[in-house]
Amino acid sequence: MRAPESGISLSAADAAIVKGMILRGDRQHDIAAWFGVNGGRIGDISTSKTFAEVPVASGDKLPPPGPYIIGRHAQEAVTALEAAAGDAKAMLELAEEDPGLAIQALKMLSEALDSALGSIGKATARPAD
């Protein structure tokens, strides 16, 4: 039994970016991950099976080089951001109840955001060469 189709298709603008990423030396696996498509679609573009007439996108139109965040790390980052948002709400309520605690609330919020950003940083960190 096959999984349902994703419904994701690449446009000519996407194909231009794919070509630019290939020219830059990105791995086809990373390019496919960026666009959320099967690697075969990237292979089709790289061999001019599809979008042969589309020019290469300029370097300033390209995303940063991969590898890109993987699903489970993306979910961890979302969870960390949701926790930080909850902390932010709690800190705002604390500051509203006692304006004298506003600085403390902001410091606590800053710590929560740093923690969330740390989770995102781990999720997007490039492996050491």
Instruction: Give 28-55 pLDDT, tens digit per residue.
Output: 999 999 999 999 999 999 999 999 999 9
Please report, for residues 10, 97, 111, the alpha-carbon distance to residue 48 in angstroms, rounded to integers and kept in the order given. 14, 63, 49
CA separation for the pair 109, 90 (Å, rounded) = 9
Q: How much is the average pLDDT of 68-80?
A: 83
Q: Do 3 and 32 contact (CB within 8 A), yes or no?
A: no
CA separation for the pair 41, 32 (Å, rounded) = 8
Q: How much is the average pLDDT of 50-67?
A: 96
Instruction: Give 114-127 pLDDT, tens digit per residue.
Output: 877 777 676 666 65
For the whole prediction, is pTM greater than 0.85?
Answer: no
pLDDT of residue 14: 98
Please report, for residues 31, 47, 58, 85, 129, the alpha-carbon distance to residue 125 in angstroms, rounded to integers and kept in the order given. 17, 31, 25, 23, 12
